[in-house]
Structure 1
Amino acid sequence: MNGQPSADVLAQIKDIPIYRPSVERGHFPVLEKPEIARGFPDNWMTPALAAALDAGEAEFVLSTGTNHARMQIIRPPYFLLNSYYQLWSEHPDIADTWHEGCRRVSLTTVLATEHVARVNARKHGGPQAEPDPVPDLEQRRLDERTFYVNLRRDPALWDRADVERMFDEIRTAQAAHPEGRYHLDCSGPHLAHLVRKAVAWGLWPAFPQPASIVHAYEYTPLNVRRYLRHHFSCPVVDLFGSTELGYLFYSDRSGRYHPYLDRMSVELIPVEPGNSRIHSLIVTSVRNPHMPLVRYRSGDCVRTEDGSADPARISRFCGREKELLRTARGPVAQGDLDDVVTAASPRVFVHRLDTRAPGRALLQYTTFDGSPLAPAEADALRHGVAELAARDADVEHREHIPIGASGKYAWLVQDA
């Protein structure tokens, strides 16, 4: 598969300035993020796009920037939300909660909460209006169906009052359904923190049980997935996508991924030809009519069932390409370290690998129960990390690993 666009894609992008040289050459190279930004927005502007912007059918937004530099894009209003809603409504395991009209409670980064509050403030108070320092629930309502509950950057620092407030707010979503059902949308680690605190403080019986759960905001470690499945009887599924693309894949309740490539195609390119079975995900998409992306490097890494570059065999989304650890044995992705951690102990919660010391690696970790690993587990983890990172390794139990400024956890600390 050479990844070159089909005739129908060519017909839709031939007048866009950024693609004209490729159309003339008859070959499209991989599209990198810096190239998208160079000359923006003139490099994307057509009469049709200018008219859509004037009519409010297209808007400028920034990507989240939590995994790479923030990038300005052009898309229809509510593009990502509508992609989420469409997939939720069609997912074989959770579509029932969509069609029943279940409310969606979102438990994710405080940046997402603040964004919703800011949009609402400016919608009602003008372009310079700012939300209240602690926005109330109505200010955190995205639409009739969805509201956000997190008000702190680091979920490990939630106190009892935070947890009880969130439970009270979740009950308002339950009350809107005749059978008390609601849909919980989350970052996996955020929900795991909420469960841990509810259990530790004797509040678990008061946890409003959801009818379906999606984690969709970041890589969710295998131990976190297992922890959530253990505590919740409803389907727990993963959605994979991005601000600029919408959602591309979904997992079923058993963890197997399925493509959701509406007006899209994907190809895989080895991150290091001849030295890696990790592949870069390259996407061609005309789902967003205002900024179609041809052979776009999403920045995500995947593995396949057999190590081949066959997109039909994708079995794992294993992190970001910019966050690969380069070793003498080849590149290591976030998912590779996650496999080592999971094999050593199901008790490890948050973990972070520090490789800044020459020739050494330090894995810091927390556990779900707060206690250090037993010596045998710690030794297994140490040996696994040393083998993976191709260097001497130590492990260190921590009571707390701070979350990043983005509201997501960094799995790797290394020299720039």
Structure 2
Amino acid sequence: MKVSPDRQLKVSPDGQPTAEVIARVKDIPIYRDALVRGHFPVLEKAEIARGFPDNWMTPALTTALASGEAEFVLSTGTNHARMQLIRPPYFLLRSYYRLWSEHPDIRETWEADCRRVSLTTVLATEHVARVNARKRGEEPPPVPRVEDRRLDARTSYLNLRLDPALWERADVERMLAEIEAARQTHPRGWYHLDSSGYHLAHLLRKIHTWGLWDAFSPPASIIHAYEYTPVNVRRYLQQHFACPIIDLFGSTELGYLFYSDRRGRYHPFLDDMSVELAPVAEGSGLFHLIVTSLRNPHMPLIRYRSGDCARTSDGTPDPTNITQFCGREKELLDSPAGPVSQGDLDALVGAVSPRVFVHQLRVLSSAEAVLAYTTFDGKPLESDRVAALGRGVRELTGRRCVLDHRDHIPIGKSGKYAWLAPDGK
């Protein structure tokens, strides 16, 4: 699957929009100064929020909001403040469905009309329950029922707890029963599993702990698309599933921009978009994404800094050579050798031991750090692996590092893990 080049936005060599793009945004207040100056600077999240929503209002948008063709939503806010947005209803879902329906490795399950079960953050489940309650003119129930958690005829959400590590046997048995119910609706017993990589790994561990394999039928295809999926988690999932496991990269405000194939190689999906890669620091080989997108007609973004970081196969700023999306720019760690990303630490951990499950770095000072970790089997790492990880973290971050094996590392309030311990805790 490839987006035809003529459907990708054309930009000048320095990333400036073409006359065609400018014509699409000329009436939007936030871009007036850029139009007067003849130059579009990088658009920051703070600028989007400043004066919102008046800085986006046009007569056409006012009409769209009144008719329901546009709506206000909030970004997911993984580990940072949530951003208010304006977009068409089901904007992200339509982007997801289009990718699923066209992806060469998994479109068969779309065409076969598989049910989609989603195992991700409880915030996503609660959002679906709120939307459904609003349609009925009711308040959402404290504990959403199965019917409250159906996004549409095809998709339902499973998770009702913030921290998947704390799922009890009853939680897992309920989710497995709901998966089985979705599977039984299909004549071939197929279903599509949409998940956070972490949540799915936790489910597999719980199934193993309680011997529930007979109650779990593997899916026909898997997409994980909600957060950074560590090397070891991907490896763990691949060991348990024979079906294609696909990663999507995108955001609430942009939709999906890249997809992996079943071998893990990334491909652009830049319909009505273009991407620039700008170096985070000279010589680091780390880039942040600057995106121009007309995909959302109500809030087109010109040279928008998404806040995400990536690395390429050859160290050049060529988006077609991206090999890793490696976390958020706001979560980079300073080191004597340059900025360190979530993906950099993860690559080190994955190279030292495949047994590490969740890991989190706590920076004590410019000279010391602690790497807390859990393992898939619950046992501490071997002493030589502990030593190797300590050395690796010191080389990567410039800080002496002690390892701290734990039974549990709490998940964040967003239902996602932070690779750096928040507030030094």
Name the TM-score, length of structure 1 as normaliser.
0.97
Pick from 182, 185, 203 the counterpart of residue 173 of structure 1. Answer: 182
Deviation at 1:358, TM superposition (A): 4.4
> Partner residue of 1:295?
303
Any residues of structure 2 matched to 1:400-415 within 5 Å, and which? 400-413=408-421
| Residue identity opposite 1:382 in structure 2 | G
Kindly indicate whether the alpha-carbon contact (under 8 Å) linking 1:80 and 1:246 is maintained by their aligned counterparts in 2.
Answer: yes
Aligned length: 412
Which residue of 153, 159, 169 corresponds with 1:150?
159
Q: Matches of 2:364 and 2:193 in 1, distance apart?
A: 38
The Cα of 1:135 is off from its aligned counterpart by: 1.1
1:35 to 38, 47, 61: 47
Matched, 1:334 2:342: yes
Is 1:227 equivalent to 2:236 in the alignment? yes
Retained in 1: the 8 A contact 2:193–2:222?
Answer: yes
Give the equivalent residue in structure 2 for 1:120: 132
The residue identity in structure 2 corresponding to 1:180 is: G
Matched, 1:23 2:32: no
How far is the alpha carbon of 1:68 from its aligned partner? 2.7
Could you list the runs of 4 or more consecutive aligned residues of structure 1 that deviate by over 4 angstroms after TM superposition?
A: none
Match of 1:247 among 225, 238, 256: 256
Q: CA deviation at 1:275?
A: 4.1
Map Cα deviations across residues 277-331 of structure 1 (whole Å, 9 max, x no partner). Answer: 1101000000000000000000000001111112221111000000000111100
**Whole-angstrom distance in 1 between the partners of 2:140 and 2:48:** 32
- The 5-angstrom pairing of residues 268-287 of structure 1 reads 268-272=277-281, 274-287=282-295
Asked if residue 386 in structure 1 is aligned to residue 402 in structure 2, the reply is no
Equivalent position of 2:9 in the other structure: none
Q: Secondary structure in 2 aligned to 1:163?
A: helix
Counterpart residue number, 2:87: 75
In the TM superposition, what is the alpha-carbon distance from 1:11 to its structure 2 partner?
A: 1.1
CA distance in 2, matches of 1:30, 1:19: 11
Q: What CA distance in whole angstroms lies between the structure 1 residues aligned with 2:271 and 2:99?
A: 10
Identify the residue that residue 308 of structure 1 maps to in structure 2: 316
SS in 2 for 1:280: strand
Q: Secondary structure at the match of 1:294?
A: strand
Partner secondary structure for residue 326 of structure 1: coil
- The AA in structure 1 aligned to 2:177 is D
* Cα distance in 2 between the residues matched to 1:155 and 1:357: 31
Cα deviation per residue 1:205-249 (whole Å; 9 max; x = unaligned)? 321210000000000001000000100110001000000000000
Matching of residue 353 in structure 1 with residue 361 in structure 2: yes
What is the identity, as a one-letter code, of the residue corresponding to 2:285?
Answer: R
Q: Which residue of 1 aligns with 2:24?
A: 12
What CA RMSD, in Å, does the superposition of the two structures yield over aligned residues? 1.1
Alignment partners' CA distance in 2, 1:67 and 1:48: 33
The corresponding residue for 1:199 is 208
5+ residue gaps, structure 1, are none
Equivalent in the alignment of 2:3: none
Q: CA deviation at 1:379?
A: 1.0
Aligned with 2:326: secondary structure?
Answer: strand
- Partner SS state of residue 306, structure 1: coil
For 1:175 and 1:239, how far apart are their aligned partners in 2?
27
Contact between 1:67 and 1:320, CA under 8 Å: does it hold in 2?
no
Once the 2 structures are TM-superposed, how far is the Cα of residue 414 of structure 1 from its aligned partner? 6.0
**1:337-379: CA deviation from partner (whole Å, max 9, x where unpaired):** 0011001100000000000344101100000000000111111
